[in-house]
Amino acid sequence: MPQDDLNVGLLMFIAYREMERRVLDAVVAAGFDDITLAQARVFQRIGPDGTRLGELAEQAQVTKQTAGFLVDQLERAGYVERVADPADARAKLVRIAEKGRAAGSIAGRTVAEVEAEWHAHLGRQRMDQLREALSRLREITDRYAR
């Protein structure tokens, strides 16, 4: 299929998929070789103060059972921990543990490297325009933005 025939959504997905692959490869190369792509997709949605399992499932677009299974694996591997939700004693939050913060640091550096490559390829003006356009699209496409 010629590139001109690809819809914008698919073009965005292709770029995201490459970044996701690069991040996971870097995390695995740094010794965090016990995390899967499915786990990473749930992990990246954990907020700085923790997130309830139901919210993680919704944001990752998986069932609560699937999210629970993935969080169980992440918890056993030491990437996350479950803690009491201070807003509701009956609820638990999934929070990033020390090992998860270390892996997240590698991921963050890799994201910055990929963005720098895109910046070098597109140039400052186009990269700024891309970021602005995607930020504007987020206003109408991201139901999880706070």
For residue range 8-45, list pLDDT tens digits in order. 999 999 999 999 999 999 999 999 999 999 999 999 99
| 136, pLDDT greater than 80 | yes
pLDDT, averaged across the chain: 94
Query: What is the fold of 3-141?
Result: Arc Repressor Mutant, subunit A (1.10.10)
CA 106 → CA 16, 18, 31, 70, 83, distances in Å?
A: 17, 16, 10, 21, 24
Predicted TM-score of the model (pTM): 0.87
State the average pLDDT over residues 88-96: 92
| 2, pLDDT greater than 80 | no
Distance (Å, whole) CA 92 – CA 46: 13
Task: Give the containing element (helix H, strand E) for 64.
Answer: helix 64-76
Neighbours of 139 (CB within 10 A): 8
Neighbours of 79 (CB within 10 A): 26
